[in-house]
A = this chain, B = another copy of it.
């Protein structure tokens, strides 16, 4: 396996934790890690122009294969010249495999060795996603990083189920690798599974690492588990992956989950959280989350977060944002989304500097004391 589409440099390791400062180079540019990746499910980060996403400091965004395959169709995006051009985003893009959505959104799904049959959540039409099909779609999309098609087993599945599922995920990975035609343009990441069973995680890691892929994700730990179970896996799973490859935990977007992942040596994460809560009137601020609906903001002419340098905080007051939200104005979603993305991006900037200066623990403590009003 070549990995010429992606170069990872490990720049520095924090002196007292496993936190890593790295750099990923892709065909569409450089990504400084640890990095939070905003999600643009349907070829748009909801309620934001690409320029506004960039202005938050975003270095890479995520596109969802399942959604784009169903609508508008990956053939249309291919004809448009790929996802970058279609959506006017010239920085790196990572696409998921579609697997997670098939399991969470698909109706009447049926899993076999061949792949997963499912019905569209839109019109009930029947489809089949296989490792080969997922790679074909992701090739049409032209992402910089594509993800292997895996089975994301339910968090309450038993040992026997997870063992079989993990083994099939490995066979599927091999098929993904074979299906990939051009490794110079797109990097393929493998996904470690194995649930909350350490020996299965080890088995999975050993198998996927043998393919010498350009990067690896730790799957199945952000799917409804407790925070203790999540940290439990983080305590050993990243160490099962090669040090010289980027590590990715999918679907995490709250500060505490991100800090825990970074502390245990994870480099990449994504989540709809910051933009989704924005559309519900929730803002992440230096002093914790706040709901802009709250009546106490009616006459509050200060910024959402006085410590924030984003467009929203530089130009608008809480009173204005509350007014917009109550009136269901699109601008409230636009402004809160931009702020929340900037918040996480800024947090990651601080995390990167803290790692470089060997004070990740101190920064985590400082952040928690303000954001959660508690010890780290």
Contact bitstring A56-89, B, C-beta under 8 A = 1, else 0? 0000000000000001100010011100001110
Chain A contacts with B in 313-334, Cβ cutoff 8 A: 315-317, 319-320, 322-324, 326-327, 329-331, 333-334
A72–B330 touching, CB < 8 Å: no
Q: Which of B72, B315, B324, B334 contacts A323 (CB 8 A)?
A: B72
Instruction: Decide: B80 and A301 in contact? CB cutoff 8 A.
Output: yes
A17 CB to closest chain B CB (Å) equals 39
B43 touching A323, Cβ below 8 Å: yes
Give the docked Cα–Cα distance between A368 and B189 (Å). Answer: 56
Do B319 and A71 touch (CB < 8 A)? no
A299 with B47, Cβ < 8 A, contacts A88-B316, A329-B42, A333-B330 known = no
20 extra A-B contacts, CB within 8 A, seeds A42-B329, A49-B334, A72-B323? A42-B323, A42-B324, A42-B327, A44-B324, A44-B331, A46-B329, A47-B329, A47-B331, A47-B334, A49-B331, A72-B298, A72-B319, A76-B299, A79-B301, A80-B319, A80-B320, A86-B320, A87-B320, A330-B333, A334-B334
Q: Does A48 contact B (CB under 8 A)?
A: yes
Residues of B close to A49: CB separation below 8 A = 331, 334
Q: In the complex, are the beta carbons of B88 and A315 less than 8 A apart? A: yes
Are A327's CB and B79's CB within 8 A? no
Could you tell me if A320 and B46 are in contact, using CB atoms closer than 8 angstroms?
Answer: no
Given the known interface contacts A72-B298, A76-B299, A299-B76, the answer about A330 and B320 at a Cβ–Cβ threshold of 8 Å is: no
Determine the residue in chain B with the shortest Cβ distance to A48: B331
A69 to B72, CA, bound (A): 43
Chain B's nearest CB lies how many Å from the CB of A337?
9
* Per-residue B-contact encoding for A35-46, CB less than 8 Å = 1, 0 else: 000000011101
* A71/B317 contact (C-beta < 8 A), A48-B331, A301-B79 known: no
